[in-house]
Amino acid sequence: MKPSEMSAPEKGSRASMALRVALALAAIGALVWLGRRAGDQVPRFAAWVDSLGFWAPAAFFAGYVLATVAFVPGSLLTLAAGAVFGLWKGTALVFAAAT
């Protein structure tokens, strides 16, 4: 069908779909960009969590969940968990937070 033969609702629905796709791509791009920038903050986050004492596991758990949503590389946080909490406790925290 030629563009001149399309009815007004068909043209509007294509424009609406194109706008939705563009907005979705922009949102994904923004999350990836912010996640990469936040990845630079992982050592600072690990030091802060380590300073919390008793509340450190809960803070790490919450931070890991939020960072995963923001596309921060999970491998960096996993390594930080091992460094801050030790192998077994860090593994358990990462496993629980990633699930």
**In which domain, by residue range, is 15 found?**
3-98
CB 56 within 8 A of CB 84: yes
Q: How far apart are CA 39 and CA 45, in angstroms?
A: 10
Question: Quick one: pLDDT at residue 14?
Answer: 80
Length of the chain, please?
99
The count of domains in the chain is 1
CB 64 within 8 A of CB 77: yes
**Predicted TM-score (pTM) above 0.75:** no
pLDDT digits (tens, 9 = 90+) for 73-86: 788 889 888 888 98
